[in-house]
């Protein structure tokens, strides 16, 4: 009887330990925990991380969150880190880039809300007015798919080219240029490298973060894009975390009156602010 009693007690102890482990796992919930209060985001040298840190982070801290940035060299590295759970969110990409990442990298990222965005623009290279365009002029444009398309859409808006009307603007390439009356030459290159060689081109097309990092005055743009919905910056998380309380709280912070007041007082023409 004693042996049986000890066996029974032993089984009960194992069951209690196992049950506690299961409950602990459910309670922590990894990145999905509703009670998660320590958040990590991918951080870059640019306007979007700075806007988050100055305008959103204080709101989250008032709600009891501890928010830490993790430096990333580029957006691809940031998305890989997010997809692998090394960080909880980022605030530096538009829907088009995210969808391209999901497709090519087998990603599981989800966009939760549009956030303030710096428009792409045509800026002066060796020429300082679009009216100076001449036959054979060269123009530098970004070489990543989403931003290449927005560059050609912007050049069409400026009247420099005409694109195939049957093609979605979000997907256009140089092959979709159907009219090029000035026989312009386009060089597709890494966005970050364009400002350093702007004098080699008549004009350059660069996105907002590049404008900011190169310390180019955004008011000097010869023309700015009309930001299409798929090019608005987004708060991005792993798909499995989109319904967590912490994700909802970040969304709420971007839509809060406190943040609206902040962006109103700190917008020198750099930001396009999406409407609620």
Kindly report the CATH number assigned to the domain that includes residue 238: 3.40.190.10
Neighbours of 33 (CB within 10 A): 15
3-state secondary structure of 1: coil
Per residue in 118-133, pLDDT (tens digit) is 899 999 999 999 999 9
pTM of the model: 0.75
Residue 22 domain-assigned? no
Q: Looking at the structure, tell me whether residues 205 and 219 fall in a common domain.
A: yes
Is residue 74 pLDDT above 70, yes or no? Answer: yes
For 205, phi then psi, to 5°, come to: -115, 120
Q: Contact, 151 vs 158, CB < 8 A?
A: no
Cβ distance 88 to 207 under 8 Å? Answer: no
In a domain, 130, yes or no: yes
Measured CA to CA, the distance from residue 185 to residue 32 in angstroms comes to 49
Q: Show the beta-strand stretches assigned E in 95-202.
A: 109-114, 121-124, 138-142, 162-163, 177-179, 185-189
| Residue 1: inside a domain | no
> Same domain for 125 and 188?
yes
pLDDT tens, position by position, 188-244: 999 989 999 999 999 999 988 888 889 998 889 999 998 888 889 999 999 999 999
Same domain, 98 and 189: no
Looking at the structure, do residues 243 and 110 belong to the same domain, yes or no? yes
Q: Is residue 174 in some structural domain?
A: yes
Flag whether 10 is in a domain.
no
Least confidently predicted of 175-179, 214-218, 266-270 = 266-270
Q: How far is the C-alpha of 209 from the C-alpha of 206, rounded, in Å?
A: 8
Q: Are residues 222 and 128 in the same domain?
A: yes
* Domain around 215: 121-227
Please provide the size of the chain in residues: 276
Residue 69, strand partner residues: 41
**Pair (206, 127) in one structural domain:** yes
CA 272 – CA 246 distance, rounded (Å): 25
Q: Is residue 6 part of a domain?
A: no
**119 vs 139: CA distance, rounded Å:** 18
Give the pLDDT band of residue 34 (cuts 50, 70, 90). low
pLDDT bucket at 268, cuts 50 / 70 / 90: confident
Residue 12 lies in a domain: no
- pLDDT on residue 3: 45
Residue in the structure block whose two tokens are 């050609």: 152
pLDDT score of 51 more than 70: yes
Q: What is the pLDDT of residue 2?
A: 46
Q: From CA 89, how far away is CA 36, in angstroms rounded? A: 13
Residue 171 and residue 163 in contact, taking contact as beta carbons nearer than 8 Å: no
pLDDT of residue 33: 52
Number of domains in the chain: 2
145/109 same-domain check: no
Q: Which of 165, 174, 157 is nearest to 225 (CA)?
A: 157
Say how far apart CA 211 and CA 130 lie, in whole Å. Answer: 19
Instruction: Evaluate whether residue 63 is within a structural domain.
Output: yes
Q: What is the pLDDT of residue 200?
A: 98
> At 267, is the pLDDT very low, low, confident or very high (cuts 50, 70, 90)?
confident
Question: Distance between CA 205 and CA 203 in Å, rounded?
Answer: 7
Q: Contact 87/213 with Cβ under 8 angstroms?
A: no
Q: Are residues 135 and 220 in the same domain?
A: yes
């Amino acid at each position: 009887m004693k042996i049986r009693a000890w066996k029974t007690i032993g089984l009960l102890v194992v069951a209690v330990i196992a049950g506690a482990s299961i409950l602990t796992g459910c309670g922590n919930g990894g990145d999905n925990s509703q009670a998660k209060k320590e958040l990590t985001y991918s951080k870059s040298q640019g306007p979007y991380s700075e806007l988050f840190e100055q305008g959103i982070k204080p709101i989250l801290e008032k709600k009891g969150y501890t928010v830490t940035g993790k430096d990333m060299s580029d957006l691809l590295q940031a998305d890989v880190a997010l997809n692998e759970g090394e960080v909880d969110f980022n605030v530096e990409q538009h829907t088009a880039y995210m969808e391209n990442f999901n497709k090519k990298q087998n990603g599981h990222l989800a966009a939760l809300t549009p956030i303030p965005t710096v428009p792409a623009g045509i800026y002066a290279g060796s020429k300082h007015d679009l009216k100076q365009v001449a036959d054979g002029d060269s123009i530098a444009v970004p070489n990543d798919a989403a931003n290449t398309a927005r560059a050609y859409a912007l050049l069409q808006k400026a009247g420099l080219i005409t694109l195939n009307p049957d093609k979605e603007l979000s997907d256009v390439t140089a092959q979709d240029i159907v009219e090029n009356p000035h026989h312009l030459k386009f060089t597709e290159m890494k966005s970050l490298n364009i400002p350093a060689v702007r004098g080699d081109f008549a004009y350059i097309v660069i996105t907002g973060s590049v404008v900011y990092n190169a310390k180019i005055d955004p008011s000097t743009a010869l023309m700015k894009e009309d930001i299409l919905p798929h090019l608005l910056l987004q708060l991005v998380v792993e798909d499995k975390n989109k319904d967590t309380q912490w994700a909802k709280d970040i969304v709420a912070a971007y839509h809060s009156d406190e943040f609206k007041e902040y962006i109103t007082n700190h917008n020198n023409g750099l930001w396009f602010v999406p409407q609620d």
